[in-house]
Structure 1
């Protein structure tokens, strides 16, 4: 009697959310699970040799042959193919993700994660089977409003949901332990162990079932795991991938996928250097740079969606994949926070802590563009650099002009060029240093403050330190040629004293300066 009531409640749940008729509330006979032995063993095409997922004949994602998975103990994880034709067609009317509502008194514990496009490795046979498409996952438990009077029952929840799955035409293709360690090996820990944590972070061998609903126009996979105090549900509606990211004709060229934006205000530098990891070393690319944080709405971020979009865009423009994987820690530490700070929205501070993709694009106009993408389950970002030769925009001020402006205004900006994000004076600045030396030697009573300034890009504390270090470098260059140090003082002002609008390239260029100030 209690069994019949539980099933009746489950079968009355809303399956026809799109307007279909209410399903008849009768009990159903459980369908026999498909034996793993009926899964196809050689018909599915292999994955791509570049380590990405590819689409098999049944539309599911198949991991690459060259990217064999291991579990959290280093044991190989089988990637099990599947024959979708072994699942009978269902004509049930279904609504939208996640296609089922919860039994009375149950619901998501936290806000569910719903992604427009992701991939998930469902339990199948002795291993996993990749499926990609629109996804939904959540921890399940007793509703907050019902917790005073109701206790969680894994049996009650499972019997309800599995009855609904089967009424919808779901065919059970797996019934066994979760084997949580499968999801926490080095290849899956970030994307699945983190991105789908609400679907896999249960007891190691939590009872798990997988159902497949095959309809004429779509296929739906559902994985339900339960343990003594909660449950987890992962639902993927299988869909073909459609790229929505775009490559444009104007710098920075790469636009985020639909549903994603640049997060914090994107930033860039007219001329800088960014090091791109090639697998053997860093390619230091000088030129125009752009950094952006690529973010979807809360709980909608998909590491797989960003990856697939980037791959598709780069294939479309003939980009060359230079590197994919994790940058070695020792290599990552070669560059410090002074360089990484400005680009942290895109690629963070620890380049070894996430999956990276590095591409090079040779444009038809001869320009070379590099992209370093950061892929994490909760966020993404990229740095783009267009290789350009340095074009000097500063002009030499002779000693006579320096003297004239000091007399009129008490200060004058000099044209000194420094190494990118460093205090090292470049050799092409020596003629200007020579003119300052001539000015000081002509008037032995002249005392100057050497003031360093930056634009407003980057962190204020870093800009302050950099401006002071550059001012000290100029003082050192002058005292090294015999000028009495008592006549000079080095001061750094960072970004605190702009003379132009930092919102424009021209304004930022004017704000990056070294000034002589009469004392």
Structure 2
């Protein structure tokens, strides 16, 4: 019995020993269509198949097969919690099972697949570690045991045939299945596969079992309607993480920046306040679909409009500037054509315009939220006399210089300030200055130091190009290392983004 106790997460002998029935769930919404044909002893009428947009690894279309849940008799058998039944003596998951609060899985039906959503459990089944010296894997033993317990629970077999593994490695499914159900489908290409359905008054239970001769793949899913755990917030950035998810890195918070949102036709460059975050839930619990559904729920709550869903074309994705990818890579990814993305626009009642980009990837997700607004200038021009007075009294002074977003290019509106620094240096030939660049704590420290140094060198070059000797000027970047205010507010971060002149 030690091997049975080692089966992680199982409700032991749920059917045969009569585990206590779980609390009722909301009734699952039945799908429409015909019953799927079986190759078992109790064949059912063939099901209707429709195009799904899914492709197998070789590019062939994968039909989406409808299923009529009413074709399955209602079972009153008391079941416990997911995954509802135990494995035969001596069998156990090879690795830690993947159990997700909400996911979706394309169960094999007919010539295609049928989507089912809900809490899921999946694993590769093998001989338990403490039984390997006395037992070898038998596909027949495992299959007969599970068939028996499922039938005792009132299950109906709705499919028996080949796995067609390449369905799960197509471009639309590879990341989602690989992140959630890889242990259950990483069998040989046409591994014998069975699908069972248990219909109960308060839920439907789907089981897919594939035999790989020396192991088996198992998926158990409790079909139920989605209930969001993320809620729209009244305060920027408005989005909240699903239950069980946590940030993977510190979020980026910028009072003013630009982010390009793909609309399906081109990039909409939105300038304003920006928040960017990446997050996950651990390898065993992360579900791309759970993130997607929670985002959809928040956007519905806010009245958001879906602008784009899918993969950004490779040619357009490669056109994204390296500065943007470096700055937002953790949240938005680096190769924008290699993952599913969604873009929403939210027009808030008070007139504010909000844009949301979501990255849905293999084992993590991220989003960027931008509130469109004009730059609120916080720096002020200092004339040469004021610059000299501040340098004489304090030894340093902050100058009003603006740069392109995440670049070292000096913007035209900074030229009056450059002219005043030039006048100061010409009026005092013996004056030598160190030009220091600083940033807030948005972005990585390494990137911030590099950017701040490049900006300081741009100011140095602007002065030497007007005849100031290079020996009178030095340039250095300190990134976020020398803040003059806390980075927990817009005003504080604005003060930390600066260029200073230091008397040498």
Shared fold (TM-score, shorter chain, > 0.5)? yes
Contact 1:36 1:124 in 2 (8 A): no
What is the aligned-residue RMSD (CA, Å)?
Answer: 2.0
Q: Deviations over 1:213-262 (max 9, x none)?
A: 11111111100011121001101111012223221221101112233233
Paired residues for 1:169-208 under 5 Å: 169-208=154-193
Q: Which runs of 5+ in 1 are unaligned?
A: 1-11, 21-30, 47-64
Q: By how many angstroms is 1:420 displaced?
A: 1.0
Q: Which residue of 2 aligns with 1:490?
A: 475
Contact 1:323 1:358 in 2 (8 A): yes
Q: Which residue of 1 aligns with 2:45?
A: 37
- Separation in 1 of the partners of 2:400 and 2:199? 70
1:293 to 278, 289, 292: 278
Q: By how many angstroms is 1:34 displaced?
A: 4.9
- Separation in 1 of the partners of 2:69 and 2:20? 28
Q: By how many angstroms is 1:431 displaced?
A: 1.6
Q: Residues 280 and 217 of structure 1: is their aligned pair in 2 closer, same or farther, counting only changes over 3 Å? A: same
Aligned length: 475
Q: Which residue of 1 aligns with 2:26?
A: none
Q: Return the TM-score normalized by structure 2.
A: 0.90
Q: Which residue of 1 aligns with 2:389?
A: 404
1:73 to 49, 58, 61: 58
Q: Which residue of 1 aligns with 2:260?
A: 275
Q: Deviations over 1:471-498 (max 9, x none)?
A: 1111121122222222222222222333
Q: Which residue of 1 aligns with 2:89?
A: 104
Q: Is 1:340 the counterpart of 2:294 in the alignment? A: no
1:369 to 327, 334, 354: 354
Q: Which residue of 1 aligns with 2:130?
A: 145
Q: Which residue of 2 aligns with 1:425?
A: 410
Paired residues for 1:1-150 under 5 Å: 13-15=13-15, 18-19=19-20, 34-35=42-43, 37-39=45-47, 41=48, 67-150=52-135
2:143 to 142, 147, 158: 158
Q: By how many angstroms is 1:313 displaced?
A: 2.3
Q: Which residue of 2 aligns with 1:413?
A: 398
- Separation in 1 of the partners of 2:378 and 2:14? 68
Q: Residues 32 and 483 of structure 1: is their aligned pair in 2 closer, same or farther, counting only changes over 3 Å? A: closer
SS in 2 for 1:373: strand
- Separation in 1 of the partners of 2:41 and 2:418? 82
Paired residues for 1:465-484 under 5 Å: 465-484=450-469
Q: By how many angstroms is 1:505 displaced?
A: 3.3
Q: Which residue of 1 aligns with 2:225?
A: 240
SS in 1 for 2:65: coil
Q: By how many angstroms is 1:193 displaced?
A: 4.1
Contact 1:190 1:377 in 2 (8 A): yes
Q: By how many angstroms is 1:456 displaced?
A: 2.5
Contact 1:295 1:301 in 2 (8 A): yes
- Separation in 2 of the partners of 1:378 and 1:145? 31
Q: Deviations over 1:49-74 (max 9, x none)?
A: xxxxxxxxxxxxxxxx5x42221112
SS in 2 for 1:69: strand
- Separation in 2 of the partners of 1:122 and 1:335? 37
Q: Which residue of 1 aligns with 2:207?
A: 222
Contact 1:73 1:181 in 2 (8 A): yes
Q: Which residue of 1 aligns with 2:4?
A: none
Q: Deviations over 1:412-464 (max 9, x none)?
A: 11111111110011111112111111111111111112111222222222112
Q: By how many angstroms is 1:196 displaced?
A: 1.1
Q: Which residue of 1 aligns with 2:243?
A: 258
Q: Return the TM-score normalized by structure 1.
A: 0.87
Q: Which residue of 2 aligns with 1:516?
A: 501
Q: Residues 480 and 128 of structure 1: is their aligned pair in 2 closer, same or farther, counting only changes over 3 Å? A: same
Q: Deviations over 1:372-418 (max 9, x none)?
A: 00112421110000000011001111211111111122221111111
- Separation in 1 of the partners of 2:54 and 2:314? 22
Q: Which runs of 5+ in 2 are unaligned?
A: 1-11, 22-38
Q: Deviations over 1:159-194 (max 9, x none)?
A: 111111111111111111111112122222221244
